[in-house]
Structure 1
Amino acid sequence: MPILYSGFSLEDARNRIINITLRFGTLGSRFLLIFFLAKFLSPAEVGNYGLFTAAVGYTLYIVGLDFYVFTTREIVHAPAKKRGHFLKTQICISAIIYLVVAPASLVVLSKLGWSSVALIAFLPILVLEHFNQEIMRLLIALSEQITASIILFLRQGSWAIASVLLMALDPSSRLLWVVLGLWFLGGALAAIIGVWKVASLKMGGWHDRIDWSWARRGLKVSFAFLIATLALRAIQTLDRFWIEALGGVEVVAAYVLFTGVASSMMVFLDAGVFAFTYPALIRHHKHGDREAFQRVLRKSLLQTILFIGAFSVVSLALLPYLLAWIGKAEYLSKVSLFPWILSALALNCLGMIPHYALYACSHDRSIIASHIIALAVFTIAAWALGHAYGTLAIPIALNLAFLSILIFKSLAYWALQPHPQYQQAA
């Protein structure tokens, strides 16, 4: 039996270390990629890369419909012999959605003046990102965090490393289409590993008939969450296009660079804290163990605050040296954006604590409402501040949006405390 210490087994500690190491490898490679892109590509190409990733990220949620929100809770509590049935239904729903979204997205992007290379790469990368993301979510829900992190590394880290090495060794490869091609290859490799892992779990139910009544019930739940997710993702997509409108695509390049650095916080916290937090919260809520639920939540909050503080100090200290290495005035002249972006993403990380608490308690309405309110806050603030502050208005609006989410979700969870189910469990 594993030795227990302070509520964790040695095996749990080992898994966390491995998981964080894999995530760190992914983070490090992505970190290097954004700086090498800034070093070797023109600011315009870096800006276009940022717009491409934003478009993929936003469309990803449209095709996924956030159906995983419903499926995850179903699969966690279902026997292995039924899990394949749920996944089969989810796959069929996604296939139907692609028939509508795929041609519509290409029409919209072509109207935005995208190059033929970007248009050709968009759908294959979108499909692989969607597939790999759903596989990761499934594995995390089934407490297969290490395999999920391996897939994440292949999906995001492997091709980033290949891009960095290729651009460093071969100047002729310093082109955006080369980066997108390697992205596709990394996603394809991750998908192969994901299929192999799911097959090894020996889930049953794959030959059962699709339960469309279950699918409709899931769509009702996921559609509500989709509205919330699209509202949140709209903030993190509109910001880049709004920056372009205010300052041009070269400013988008600086914004993408600084956001890439600051968003590393969430990567670490996902690996070391959140990936372990929300499955535990779901279990404790199901069993009515309020004390354990609160203990996990407090520990997650403390770990998040400590990491945000350490990360902020280190990133603020190192960024000037990294910008000096890049040596391009377009980035140095916009360094004032970084503290605002860092602050906004720190608020986003803190907001995940009450978010997972509400999610575990199936209190979905508060999550949905907070994201819709945040989109309104962001839009109004960006519009109101744009004339006076220029491009700085966007990260300021981002701060206000994420702060509104943190406050709203925290108050919603606080109001949930006297829930009768918890009173009976106590």
Structure 2
Amino acid sequence: MLAIGNGRQRLYPDHSDEQNRKHTQEPMPVRTLTRLFNLVLRGATLASKFLLIFFLARFLEPAELGLYGLLAATIGYALYLLGLDFYTYTTRELLKRDREEWGELLKDQGALTLVLYVLFVPLLSLVFATGTLPWPVAGWFFGLIVLEHLNQELMRLLIAISRPVLANVVLFLRQGAWAVIATALMFFEPETRNLETVLLAWTLGGLAALLLAAGRLCQLRIGGWRKRVDWSWIRQGVKVAVPMLVATLAIRGVFTLDRYWLEALSGLEVLGAYVLFMGIGNAMMSFLDAGVFAFLYPGLISAFQKGDADAFRQGVKRFFIQTTVFSLCFALVALVLIDPLLSWLDKPLYREQQGMFPWILLAIFLYALGMIPHYALYAQGRDRPLIHSHIASLVVFIPATWLFSIHWPHLAVPLGLSVAFFLILVWKTTAYFRLTPVQYRHCCPETQAST
């Protein structure tokens, strides 16, 4: 489960809602119940992820929570190396072909995956060989990488072939159910309050999700498995996927390097406090993604493709208002509740490090604001400024954090994040005003009449 530090660090949004709207053909009552069930599952998953961080902070020692944060961030980053975001290419090709041909494409993707495992698994071992992560968790680390990667790819496939309910069930098993079980176990059995319990529950949740998804896909009787691997098709897909991946790796790099850097500056215990505070901040992004972005960005795409400038302007306006209001309200509530929360946790170290919490909220707030021009540009197919801004954020984060670490080592990372995300906000906003046609930014009757 990558609940800690995940946020939304992908260049391109998840198209699950768009695919569901496009492919759902059930009668209206069935469709309504299906959508309601999907919302309940998503809500339960989000709630489980949101609450897990608090209970881990309550039941685990700060150093254990810090180590869990490092593991989760490293696994999350490794998934991009092992997958290359190749699904963006495979999904599009699957939808063009009959089910009898799907096996050929999935076999090709599997061949690429094996090559990537051979290349990157030895490199990932360096985090243990260099002492960055302790060897006792190496088995959990590699097992969870495989489970998370396979589950992620299978869930994307389920979404692509219009199985949204099953995909959400798989997601809940991966990220929600095991968290509830682990929390309950640690609550009633004090001897289970350790990192091994958390990792075991995570592994069992991943196995359950994998068995469910793989079993259901086997029932589809997909054809085409006997065809030879088409390496030319794979090379073409890599060319398409890699530009998208570069920007994703850059922004994900910021959300992974931050933990290692803070651990180097202040130790695992302080990192535990950072993981707790960042978990709260990232909850804001998770709720924004589920409650605002997923509902509004398809409308922006549709409005631009139809040439409806008024609908596009109104969509961007709603994006701005809803994102800003929700983010400010969330931040204010979090600032009010952080004191009673820390009192409930009863860990003096978290209160000692409370000063970094407002800066983390500021960084996430800036990141959330940056998603407004992000989706406006994405809807227009303006990918280049998105890629450039994410790469620049990593380039700026490193020297900014280093400079801050000279005088404020405990605040260096959240301050560096704030600078990096402010750069993203300015970059994307500037690109939006520079690249968006004037009638899509302002109501210009003369311009519209001439067009």
Structure-2-length-normalised TM-score: 0.82
Shift of 1:340: 1.1
Alignment counterpart, residue 245 of structure 2, candidates 218, 226, 244: 226
Per the TM alignment, residue 94 of structure 1 is displaced from its structure 2 partner at its CA by 1.6
Tell me if the contact between 2:170 and 2:209 (Cα under 8 Å) persists in the aligned partners.
Answer: yes
The answer to whether the aligner puts 1:174 opposite 2:193 as a matched pair is yes
State the alpha-carbon separation in 2 of the partners of residues 299 and 148 from structure 1.
Answer: 29
Cα separation, 2, equivalents of 1:293 and 1:272: 19
Superposed CA deviations along residues 89-136 of structure 1, whole A, max 9, x for unmatched, are: 323212210112112212332322533431001111111212222334
**By how many angstroms is 1:56 displaced?**
0.7
1:402 CA displacement = 1.3
Separation of aligned partners in 2, 1:203 and 1:317 = 54
Cross-structure match for 1:6: none
1:135 to 136, 145, 154: 154
C-alpha distance 271-376 of structure 1, shift in aligned 2 (>3 A): same
Aligned partner of 1:32 in structure 2 is: 51
Tell me: CA distance 1:90–1:290, structure 2 relative to 1, closer, same or farther (3 Å).
farther
- Within 5 Å, give how 1:19-418 maps onto structure 2: 19-75=38-94, 78-81=96-99, 85-112=104-131, 114-140=133-159, 145-196=164-215, 198=217, 209-278=228-297, 281=300, 293-418=312-437
Q: Secondary structure at the match of 1:66?
A: coil
Superposition deviation, residue 326 in structure 1: 0.8
Between the aligned partners of 1:294 and 1:247, the Cα distance in structure 2 is 46
- The answer to whether the 8 A contact 1:58-1:233 is kept is yes
> Who is 2:12 aligned against?
none
- CA change 1:209–1:349 in 2 (3 A) is farther
How far apart in 1 are the matches of 2:426 and 2:29?
36
CA gap 1:349/1:137 in 2 versus in 1, 3 angstroms: farther
Q: Aligned partner of 1:270: which letter? A: D
1:28, 1:368 → 2: CA distance? 31
- Asked if structure 2 preserves the Cα contact closer than 8 Å seen for 1:301 and 1:353, the reply is yes
Q: Percent identity?
A: 46
SS of structure 1 residue aligned to 2:125: helix
Shift of 1:324: 0.4
2:342–2:350 contact (8 Å) kept in structure 1: yes
Separation in 2, partners of 1:165, 1:196: 29
Question: Separation in 2 of the partners of 1:85 and 1:274?
Answer: 34
Q: Is contact 2:49–2:179 with CA below 8 Å preserved after alignment?
A: yes
Report the TM-score, using the length of structure 1 for normalisation: 0.86
Q: Secondary structure at the match of 2:364?
A: helix
Give the residue type in structure 2 aligned to 1:176.
L
Amino acid at match of 1:248: G
Structure 1 unmatched ranges of 5 or more? 3-8
- Alignment RMSD, CA only? 3.2
Distance 1:363 1:75, change over 3 A: farther
**Stretch deviating more after TM superposition (362-371 or 410-419):** 410-419
Q: Quickly say closer, same or farther: Cα 1:145–1:384, change in 2 above 3 A.
A: farther
Secondary structure of 2:354 counterpart: coil
The SS at the match of 1:391 is: coil
1:75/1:86 contact within 8 Å kept? yes
Return the letter of the residue paired with 1:64: G
Q: Cα 1:277–1:97, aligned 2, differ >3 Å: closer, same or farther? A: farther
Q: Quick one: structure 1 residues 308 and 144, their matched pair in 2 at CA, closer, same or farther if it must change by over 3 Å? A: farther
**CA distance, structure 1, for counterparts of residue 308 and residue 347 of structure 2:** 55
Q: Deviations over 1:292-324 (max 9, x none)?
A: 555544434433223212222222222211110
Amino acid at match of 1:177: E
- Count of residues paired in the alignment: 417
Q: Compute the displacement of 1:145 (Å).
A: 4.8
Deviations 1:397-420 (A, max 9, x none): 101111211222233233332399
| Aligned counterparts of 1:160 and 1:356: Cα–Cα separation in 2 | 31
- Contact residue 66 and residue 229 of structure 1 kept, 8 A: no
C-alpha displacement of 1:13: 7.7
Q: Shift in Å at residue 392 of structure 1?
A: 0.8
Q: Which amino acid aligns with 1:321?
A: P
Per-residue deviation at 1:349?
Answer: 2.4
Aligned equivalents of 1:23, 1:251: Cα separation in 2 = 31
> CA separation of 1:303/1:147 partners in 2, compared to 1, >3 Å: closer, same or farther?
farther
Alignment deviations for residues 202-258 of structure 1 (CA, whole Å, 9 cap, x no partner) = 766555554433322221222222221111111111111111122111110000000
2 CA distance for matches of 1:410 and 1:71? 32
Q: Which runs of 5+ in 2 are unaligned?
A: 1-20, 22-27, 440-446
CA distance in 2, matches of 1:52, 1:289: 46
Q: Distance in 1 between matches of 2:204 and 2:195?
A: 15
